[in-house]
């Protein structure tokens, strides 16, 4: 089937905006990316991608002939579809801050014109934001017409580190809004829905993948789907961590327990990994967003509140393990392996390593930290923390009293742990991601597992 290319504007050039622009250009549309930050736009115009996401640089370069970058909102006037992909950071009370969404809507509205244009909320937003954006368009667009200018909720379900594959081969595409606007979005995504595009070399089509499900629904249901999905995944992680704590006390192994319950198809294996808990820009914010929505309607959500408490308790659990081993941290050198909140990204938002460094410093430790990708970004964003950068991973171990594995980078899994622990004073390793599988002559603690010095751990 022949698909008609559309003209698309993407407002915001962060993780979601860049991924959206790359995807739409790859499946054949002409895309203009808009951002108010002139430095980001200048970098993109020169071929520099301001974030780390595996394969994104190559994909953007391959579709550069269908991509333009600008700070000018007047590019909206030619667009058939306009995506709002700006941040919604948590406010002081934990609820999402919509100032950037509101600003984007107000700034694009004057440039809407006489042809049908769909405005898409791609950012994760509270339930009711679609109606709010529709009202902003009505107030700020001189030629506003409800029949031509319609809002659709099209939430993203990307995981940083695997964003390309998640974009190109999604489980589902959720489209919420009026029938005509959803039909236009279905046409926009037709090459993705039908999988007629050529798979890029950086993200080959998975074996057995056919096509995504398409969920057509209302604005409010689409917004709720995004929040509920992230909250449920956060809940699974917190559940695994809560069970892990009990496993340590009764002599069970959380990995064996997770395998056993994950084989139940009603539960599944994914997101049952015990460890240091979640981080990043989504799980905590979106779970709190649902709690805040419940508070607005006088509807308590105790399960979600408990999920958040368990998650942040897990960071204290790791410090407690270290204190049991060293008794005091004053004057001790403690190494941190991993600063990004997860592997294959440089994103530091709500990264557990941040809280570990902060608490270790408060307790008198001298902290040395390493990350394969995120150290330059941490130098800018974590200037308020006191730690020493490790130029190479060996520096984390040299004369250290303890090392904490905070991010499960593949490079750390492949370390010669026997050699590394031999560089330490009296080696204490807190493996907060359960990645070590070699026998060590060291005091090794993991999460939800009993470890025996000098013995091989079961995989």
Yes or no: say if 213 and 173 are a contact pair by the CB < 8 Å rule: yes
Q: How many CA atoms lie within 13 A of 404 on its CB side?
A: 31
Residue-wise over 316-331: b if at least 16 C-beta within 10 A, else e? ebbbebbeebbeebee
CB-based burial label for 190 (10 Å; 0-12, 13-18, 19+): middle
Q: Hey, is 92 helix, strand or coil?
A: coil
Q: Hey, is 206 helix, strand or coil?
A: coil
Return d(Cα 249, Cα 437) in angstroms, integer: 21
Yes or no: say if 447 and 432 are a contact pair by the CB < 8 Å rule: yes
**Residue for token pair 């981080």:** 279
Q: How many CA atoms lie within 13 A of 95 on its CB side?
A: 12
Cα Rg of the chain, angstroms: 24
Yes or no: say if 32 and 8 are a contact pair by the CB < 8 Å rule: yes
CB-based burial label for 391 (10 Å; 0-12, 13-18, 19+): exposed
Give me 267's structure tokens. Answer: 């539960």
Return d(Cα 229, Cα 217) in angstroms, integer: 16
Q: Which of 199, 188, 104 is nearest to 154 (CA)?
A: 188
Give me 77's structure tokens. Answer: 């006037």
Q: Which of 329, 352, 328 is nearest to 341 (CA)?
A: 352
Domains of the chain in start order, with CATH, are 7-217 (3.40.50.720), 314-446 (3.40.50.720)
With residue 83 as reference, give the H or E element that holds it: strand 81-84
Give the pLDDT of residue 438.
85
CB under 8 Å, gap of 24 or more: what pairs does 58-63 form? 58/200, 58/201, 58/202, 59/22, 59/26, 59/164, 59/200, 59/202, 59/203, 60/18, 60/21, 60/22, 60/25, 62/26, 62/200, 63/22, 63/25, 63/26
Give the pLDDT of residue 452.
59
Catalytic residue IDs: 282
CB under 8 Å, gap of 24 or more: what pairs does 140-146 form? 140/105, 140/106, 140/109, 140/110, 141/109, 141/110, 141/112, 142/110, 143/112, 143/113, 143/114, 144/109, 144/112
Total Cβ atoms within 10 A of residue 262: 15
Give mean pLDDT in consecutive 10-residue pieces for the chain, a chain of 459 residues.
86 93 96 96 93 92 96 95 92 81 95 92 88 93 88 91 92 96 97 96 93 96 94 96 96 96 95 92 87 92 96 96 95 97 93 97 97 96 97 96 97 96 94 92 91 59
What Cα–Cα distance (Å) separates residue 156 from each residue in 56, 120, 129, 207, 341? 16, 11, 15, 23, 19
CA 356, 357, 363, 367 torsion: positive or negative? positive
**Residue for token pair 């379900």:** 157
Q: What angle do CA 457, 280, 337 make, to 5 degrees?
A: 40
The DSSP result for 169-194, as a single string, is: S-SEEEEES-HHHHHHHHHHTHHHHH
């Amino acid at each position: 089937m022949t698909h008609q290319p559309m003209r698309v504007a993407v407002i915001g050039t962060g993780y979601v905006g860049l991924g959206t622009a790359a995807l739409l250009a790859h499946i054949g549309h002409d895309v203009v990316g808009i951002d108010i930050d002139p430095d980001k736009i200048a970098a993109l115009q020169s071929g520099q991608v301001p974030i780390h996401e595996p394969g994104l640089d190559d994909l953007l370069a391959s579709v550069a002939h269908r991509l333009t970058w600008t700070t000018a909102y007047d590019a909206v006037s030619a667009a058939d579809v306009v995506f709002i992909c700006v941040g919604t950071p948590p406010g002081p009370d934990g609820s999402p801050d919509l100032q950037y969404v509101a600003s984007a809507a107000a700034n694009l509205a004057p440039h809407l014109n006489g042809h049908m244009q769909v405005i898409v909320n791609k950012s994760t937003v509270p339930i009711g934001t679609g109606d709010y954006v529709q009202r902003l368009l009505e107030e700020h667009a001189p030629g506003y017409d409800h029949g031509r200018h319609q809002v659709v909720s099209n939430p993203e379900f990307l995981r940083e580190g695997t964003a390309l594959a998640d974009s190109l081969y999604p489980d589902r595409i959720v489209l919420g809004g009026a029938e005509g606007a959803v039909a236009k979005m279905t046409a926009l995504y037709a090459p993705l829905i039908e999988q007629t595009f050529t798979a890029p070399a950086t993200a080959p089509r998975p074996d057995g993948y056919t096509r995504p499900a398409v969920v057509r629904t209302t604005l409010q249901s689409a917004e709720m789907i995004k929040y509920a999905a992230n909250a449920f995944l956060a809940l699974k992680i917190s559940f695994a961590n809560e069970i892990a704590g009990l496993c340590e006390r009764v002599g069970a192994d959380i990995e064996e327990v997770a395998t056993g319950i994950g084989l139940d198809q009603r539960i599944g294996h994914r997101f049952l990994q015990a460890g240091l808990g979640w981080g990043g820009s989504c799980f905590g914010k979106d779970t709190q967003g649902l709690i805040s929505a419940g508070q607005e309607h006088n509807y308590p959500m105790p399960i979600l509140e408990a999920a958040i408490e368990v998650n942040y308790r897990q960071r204290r659990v790791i410090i407690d393990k270290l204190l049991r081993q060293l008794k005091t941290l004053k004057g001790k050198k403690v190494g941190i392996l991993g600063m990004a909140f997860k592997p294959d990204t440089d994103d530091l938002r709500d990264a557990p390593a941040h809280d570990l460094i902060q608490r270790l410093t408060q307790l008198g430790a001298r902290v040395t930290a390493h990350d394969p990708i995120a150290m330059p970004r941490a130098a800018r964003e974590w200037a308020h923390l006191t730690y020493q950068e490790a130029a190479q991973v060996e520096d984390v171990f040299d004369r250290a009293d303890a090392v904490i594995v905070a991010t499960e980078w593949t490079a750390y899994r492949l370390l010669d742990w026997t050699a590394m622990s031999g560089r330490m004073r009296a080696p204490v390793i807190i493996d907060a991601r359960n990645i070590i599988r070699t026998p060590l002559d060291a005091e090794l603690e993991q999460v939800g597992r009993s470890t025996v010095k000098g013995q091989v751990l079961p995989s």
